[in-house]
């Protein structure tokens, strides 16, 4: 271990900027000391610090302990706190299964038929599901390390949330035969996403969004333009009201047929 520490000191220059200073310079196009690095940590390291992922996903105190310790260990250029892909579907009525050594999974989708869409309500991020656990954790983490690092947040996008409310396989098949119902559902998941983003932005934190079910491995470019692009754009424009730039991850593969549409969307943002 001592040898490794000596090698690190020998070959890896010491940072000249804090993570916050580095990311602020990066976003402004100014000079910075090294390439920014934002590894996924969070629940991935819960087991390392003696917690089950099921415990992590239900405890503000454990979330803070894990995120703070991973920041002290790696000093990444961003500290991101959930609720990830599953928080919003759960808050809207899907039932999850939790595991000690794995991320949550959808146990029972919320919608058995599309007739049940009318019974869905826009989420209250302070009352529904576990969303408020993450809002409070973001608030606490911002107070602890916000002067040194940008505290961030990621939530599933409207398309991925809708898929989890229906069941991904059935949802993807229904993009052809149930277009009207899918759009109706996407309007609700989009509005719920915006409500959570508002709660995050009220803390002075920029929200992020990931929509992996919108992958070119799963849907065509035509479906992307119809069912993903418009709702992602709504979320981007909403964030832009309070932030100069927006980061959105659609998980587009190299040489993806979505490339042109996604790039145009990113440039507009």
Q: What are phi and psi of 73, to 5 degrees?
A: -75, -45
pLDDT at residue 230, as a whole number: 95
Where along the chain do its domains lie?
37-268
Query: Is the pLDDT confidence value at 12 over 50?
Result: yes
**Banded pLDDT at 268 (limits 50, 70, 90):** very low
* β-strand partners of 198: none
Return the closest-CA partner of residue 72 out of 145, 20, 162: 145
**Banded pLDDT at 204 (limits 50, 70, 90):** very high
DSSP conformation letters of 25-70: HHHHT---SS-------GGGGTGGGT--HHHHTT-HHHHHHHHHHH
Could you list the beta-strand ranges (E) of the chain: 79-84, 95-97, 105-108, 151-156, 207-210, 248-249
Within 10 angstroms of residue 253's Cβ, the number of other Cβ atoms is 11
Element (H, E) at 233: helix 229-240
Average pLDDT, the chain: 88
pLDDT at residue 2, as a whole number: 64
pLDDT at residue 56, as a whole number: 96
Query: Is the pLDDT confidence value at 133 over 90?
Result: yes
Average confidence (pLDDT) over 238-266: 56
Cα separation of 197 and 240, whole Å? 11
pLDDT at residue 252, as a whole number: 47
**Banded pLDDT at 20 (limits 50, 70, 90):** very high
Range with lowest mean pLDDT among 1-5, 128-132, 174-178, 219-223 = 1-5
**Banded pLDDT at 27 (limits 50, 70, 90):** confident
Give the pTM: 0.86
CATH 3.20.20.210 fits 37-268, yes or no: yes
- Burial environment of residue 52 by CB neighbours within 10 A (0 to 12, 13 to 18, 19 or more): middle
* β-strand partners of 81: 153
Q: What are phi and psi of 208, to 5 degrees?
A: -125, 165
Query: Is the pLDDT confidence value at 38 over 50?
Result: yes
pLDDT at residue 7, as a whole number: 60
pLDDT at residue 257, as a whole number: 53
* β-strand partners of 43: none
Cα separation of 122 and 83, whole Å? 17
Residues 145, 68 contacting (CB under 8 angstroms):
yes
Q: Which residue has the tokens 């309500």?
A: 121
Average confidence (pLDDT) over 212-235: 92
Which has more confidence, 143 or 43?
Answer: 143
Residues 153, 80 contacting (CB under 8 angstroms):
yes
Tokens of 204: 């002075």
pLDDT at residue 52, as a whole number: 96
């Amino acid at each position: 271990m001592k040898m490794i520490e000596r090698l690190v000191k020998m070959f890896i220059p010491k940072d000249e900027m804090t993570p916050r200073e580095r990311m602020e310079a990066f976003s402004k196009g100014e000079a910075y000391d090294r390439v920014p690095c934002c590894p996924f940590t969070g629940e991935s390291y819960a087991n390392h610090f003696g917690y089950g992922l099921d415990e992590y996903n239900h405890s503000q105190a454990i979330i803070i302990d894990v995120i703070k310790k991973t920041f002290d260990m790696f000093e990444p250029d961003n500290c991101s706190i959930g609720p990830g892909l599953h928080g919003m579907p759960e808050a809207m009525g899907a039932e999850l299964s939790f595991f000690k050594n794995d991320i949550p999974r959808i146990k029972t989708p919320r919608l058995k038929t599309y007739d049940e869409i009318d019974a869905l309500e826009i989420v209250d991020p302070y009352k529904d599901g576990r969303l408020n656990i993450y809002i409070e954790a973001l608030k606490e983490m911002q107070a602890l390390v916000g002067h040194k690092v940008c505290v961030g947040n990621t939530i599933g996008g409207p398309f991925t949330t809708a898929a989890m409310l229906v069941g991904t396989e059935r949802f993807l098949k229904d993009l052809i035969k149930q277009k009207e119902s899918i759009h109706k559902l996407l309007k609700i998941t989009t509005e719920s996403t915006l409500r959570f983003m508002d709660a995050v932005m009220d803390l002075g934190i920029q929200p992020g969004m990931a929509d992996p079910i919108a992958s070119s491995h799963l849907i065509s470019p035509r479906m992307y333009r119809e069912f993903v692009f418009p709702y992602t754009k709504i979320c981007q424009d909403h964030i832009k009201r309070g932030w100069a730039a927006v980061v959105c991850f659609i998980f587009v593969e190299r040489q993806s047929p979505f490339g042109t549409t996604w790039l145009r969307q990113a440039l507009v943002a």
